[in-house]
Structure formats: structure tokens, C-alpha cells
């Protein structure tokens, strides 16, 4: 690797999500989340135990430190903090996260904390979830409780993780709760989420909370499959659908005008939009943008018919065709020259460089790579897990990040997804991303993989 300029500003760490790692789903006063109810009701593999991080956070943070990492991105579980619709605070939940934060500081680990990584309290889902503006108000109350409880312990806050995915999967693709397929609902949810984000940022600043606040986006750089005018328009449509409706309001203070006009021209109801909401969005731009990057997307004009989404939750066992298309908007396709993971994600390290350059030029907002990694089927029985594919993936992507930083992009950190194996939503525990293997069948024993030691050496090379 070429060494990083301005090393003192750069964070190397790992990222997790509360539902995917904590377990302890019904302990210490925690309310049920929508994922608890959904997975139990449908008898899917669940995160009741997950990585047992709730009980083993000290061990995990110590292993991060021993692995050379200087930062940890994690999320707070909303259902651990707020008990009910009345907004009653669960002090046991507050104490748990104070303990986690104190352990981070004791180990010299900088926390980057996300308020919402998809585990909506079920009591809010029962009143309509993100379709209901009351959920946005409840989020602001939850954020206020966290701001005041953890002020001074967190320098880097983010409101939401990947608004694109939990809204798209819940209300368009229908593969996540509440399993709807309704574009009108999707549009309203997206709006409510961005209003909640802006109001939470506004409150953060009015309360003079220490630190900086941003948002985390699943950034998918869009590439045209050819240079036809209709293809280039489809790329713009796909970029608006996947990325710009989050990043533009967060970083520029406004929704993309061409996207809004296209939605309106197609007859969707936008009567829920309020001037006072747009004013809050306009005045509350983020201090930084978190970018989750796994691979690129190749786009063509929509040719094959009506809107359709088919997802892959079973890796190489999936025998169908992954489909992502919206009638009159765009259609995803593949680049036959790029490798593809077992779950259908194409690998293109140069994309992370191009993403960073593009977002820096577009928004001129400090950036973090808040997630990057590769999911693999792995045998964790051996004492030494040889995950060379993960090492190659991380090495090639980190080189491109350093390249972007040294070319002038204000990128301030890299967080591997993930520091240890996690429950991967409906993919269960077979899809492993961790630098540390977890034996889910035998008491969640931790087993560092070859990549754990490689990452430590790579960090040391950059810093010394």
C-alpha cells in the first residue's frame, strides 16, 4: 500500500449493527423490534442470540484493539432505549451503551454510533411504521434521549444506516418486513425518513451536542451498459432511486428536482409534503457522509416489462435470476467481465475510488467508508481460517481509498464489515463477513481468521 497522507485523521475499524450482533433480544427491559416479531412469526432463522455481542462486548472490543483497530462503528438498538409509544426510557438500555462506550474509550477505540440500523420497535410498526409521520417524531424523541445520555462520549454520530435498503426492501421489493409492494407507500416512507433525519440533526445542533453528525448511505455507483441516450437517462433514474434521494437532502438540503418531477408526472400523490419539513431539510446538512460500498451496479433502459424485484437470500443455492427493475425508470444488469460473489454482487475495487471522487466533487462533504467487505461461505472448524479471498478484496479496496485520499478527497476512515461474523438478516449466519469467525453452534467461540492478522499488519504499515 501507498502510505496515507495526514495519518492522524484516519480511522481504521470495523462495523456492526445491533440486531445483527447483540442477541439478548428480550433481556433487560428491551422491547420487541419489528425483526423479532417478523422472524419469529415466519419461523425464519433469527438474531435472538446472533453473535452474543451484548454479553461479550468487552472481549470483542479488546480483540479489535489487539487487531490494530482504532475505531468501532456500531448501532444503538432503539427498542433497548425506548420502552413504548409513550416514550418511556429504559435505563438498563442506557447503562448498557454507556458501558460499551466506556469500554471503547478504555481500549483507545473511537466510537462511530448509528441511531437506527433497521430495528424499529414493534409498537411503532403496529401504528404504521415509517408510513406514519408519528414514527418520525418518535425517532426525534429517541435521538434526544441518546444525545443527552451519551453526550461527550461520542464524537461521530449518524442518524440512519442505509435508508435506501430498509425502505426499498420493506415497501417495494417486499423481502423485509412489512413485506409490502407499494410504490406510493415507498415514496411516503422515504420522505418521512428524511424528515426524521433532518429534525434529528436540527435538534443535535440546537442542543449543542458535542461532536459531528452525519448519515450512512449504501452507495452504489451506477454505470451505463452502453452510451445510448436512453441508457444514460436510466442511469440517472437509478441513481435517483438508489442514492440521490438520501444524499442530496442530507448534503445539499433538497431532493433531486428531476426525480420529484418524474414521480409527480407519473401520478403519485405528494400531498403529504410540507413546506416546514422542506425548510428543516434545507437548513440541516450533515457534517459528514458515511458510504457503504460493496460493488458497482450496471444499468440499462427498462426493456423487459413491469416493475419486478427478485432477491438472493441463499447464495449459490439460488437458482433463479436476481432482478431489479422499475417500469419506465431503469433495469439492473451485469458486466460479464467482472467477478460475482455467491450472493450476486459484482466486485470492482476501482468503483470505490470513483465513488469517493464523485461524491467529494458533488458534495464537498467529509466522507467515511463506513462498510466494506465480502460475504463468504466458510468452514470455521480449523484453528486457522484461511480467508485469502477476503484479504484480496479488502487489500484492493483499501488501496483505492488511499489513492482517493491522496488525490485530494477528504476521506477520514475505513470500517470493515465486519469485525466478527454476524447474523445477516434473512441470509442467516451462513453469509460470513467477519475478520473473526464465530462458531454459532458452539457457544459463539471467537476464532480470528487470517484476515484479522492481515488487517492488523496493513494498519500498522499505514501508521508506522
Q: Hey, which residues are catalytic here? A: 162, 371
Could you tell me which residues come within 8 angstroms of residue 352 by beta carbon, excluding any fewer than 6 positions away?
Answer: 293, 369, 372, 397, 400, 401, 404
The rounded distance, in Å, linking the Cα atoms of 252 and 170 is 26
Beta pairing partners, 371 = 292
Could you tell me which residues come within 8 angstroms of residue 168 by beta carbon, excluding any fewer than 6 positions away?
Answer: 186
The rounded distance, in Å, linking the Cα atoms of 229 and 235 is 10
The rounded distance, in Å, linking the Cα atoms of 70 and 205 is 27
C-alpha cell at 434: 467477519
The rounded distance, in Å, linking the Cα atoms of 460 and 464 is 6
Phi-psi region of 289 (alpha: psi -120 to 50; beta: other; left: phi over 0): beta
Nearest to 245 by CA among 269, 219, 274, 266: 219
Contact present, 63 and 446 (Cβ < 8 Å): yes
Look at strands 212-218 and 156-161 and give their pairing.
Answer: parallel
Beta pairing partners, 415 = 13
- Give the CA angle between residues 378, 382, 386 to the nearest 5°: 55
Amino acid at each position: 500500500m501507498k502510505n496515507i497522507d495526514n495519518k492522524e485523521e484516519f480511522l481504521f475499524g470495523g462495523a456492526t449493527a445491533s440486531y445483527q450482533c447483540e442477541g439478548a433480544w428480550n433481556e433487560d427491559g428491551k422491547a420487541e423490534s419489528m425483526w423479532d416479531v417478523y422472524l419469529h412469526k415466519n419461523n425464519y432463522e433469527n438474531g435472538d442470540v446472533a453473535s452474543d455481542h451484548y454479553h461479550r462486548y468487552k472481549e470483542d472490543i479488546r480483540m479489535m484493539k489487539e487487531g490494530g483497530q482504532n475505531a468501532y462503528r456500531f448501532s444503538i438498538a432503539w427498542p433497548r432505549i425506548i420502552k413504548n409509544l409513550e416514550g418511556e426510557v429504559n435505563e438498563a438500555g442506557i447503562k448498557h451503551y454507556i458501558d460499551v462506550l466506556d469500554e471503547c474509550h478504555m481500549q483507545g477505540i473511537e466510537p462511530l454510533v448509528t441511531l437506527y440500523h433497521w430495528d424499529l420497535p414493534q409498537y411503532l410498526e403496529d401504528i404504521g411504521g415509517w408510513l406514519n409521520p408519528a414514527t418520525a417524531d418518535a425517532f426525534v424523541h429517541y435521538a434526544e434521549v441518546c444525545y443527552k445520555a451519551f453526550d461527550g462520549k461520542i464524537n461521530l454520530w449518524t442518524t440512519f444506516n442505509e435508508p435506501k435498503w430498509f425502505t426499498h426492501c420493506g415497501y417495494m421489493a417486499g423481502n423485509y418486513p412489512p413485506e409490502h409492494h407499494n410504490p406510493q407507500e415507498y415514496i411516503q416512507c422515504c420522505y418521512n425518513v428524511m424528515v426524521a433525519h433532518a429534525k434529528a440533526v436540527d435538534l443535535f445542533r440546537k442542543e449543542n451536542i458535542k461532536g459531528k453528525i452525519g448519515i450512512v448511505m449504501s452507495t452504489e455507483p451506477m454505470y451505463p451498459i452502453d452510451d445510448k441516450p436512453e441508457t444514460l437517462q436510466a442511469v440517472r433514474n437509478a441513481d435517483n432511486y438508489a442514492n440521490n434521494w438520501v444524499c442530496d437532502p442530507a448534503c445539499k438540503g433538497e431532493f433531486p428536482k428531476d426525480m420529484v418531477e418524474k414521480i409527480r408526472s407519473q401520478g403519485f400523490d405528494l400531498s403529504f409534503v410540507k413546506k416546514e419539513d422542506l425548510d428543516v431539510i434545507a437548513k440541516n446538512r450533515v457534517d459528514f457522509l458515511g458510504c457503504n460500498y460493496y460493488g458497482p451496479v450496471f444499468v440499462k433502459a427498462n426493456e423487459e416489462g413491469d416493475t419486478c424485484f427478485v432477491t438472493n437470500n441463499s447464495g449459490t443455492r439460488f437458482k433463479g435470476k436476481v432482478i431489479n427493475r422499475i417500469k419506465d425508470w431503469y433495469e439492473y444488469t451485469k458486466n460479464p467481465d467482472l467477478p460475482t460473489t455467491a450472493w450476486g454482487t459484482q466486485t470492482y475495487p476501482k468503483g470505490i475510488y470513483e465513488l469517493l471522487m464523485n461524491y467529494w466533487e458533488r458534495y464537498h462533504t467529509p466522507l467515511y467508508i463506513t462498510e466494506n467487505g465480502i460475504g463468504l461461505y466458510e468452514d470455521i472448524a480449523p484453528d486457522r481460517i484461511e480467508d485469502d479471498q477476503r484479504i484480496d478484496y479488502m487489500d484492493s479496496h483499501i488501496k483505492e481509498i488511499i489513492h482517493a485520499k491522496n488525490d485530494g478527497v477528504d476521506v477520514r476512515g475505513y470500517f470493515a464489515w465486519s469485525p466478527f461474523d454476524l447474523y445477516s438478516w434473512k441470509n442467516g449466519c451462513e453469509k460470513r463477513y467477519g475478520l473473526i469467525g464465530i462458531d454459532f453452534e458452539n457457544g459463539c467461540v471467537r476464532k480470528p481468521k487470517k484476515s484479522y492478522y492481515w488487517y492488523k499488519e496493513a494498519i500498522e504499515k499505514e501508521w508506522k
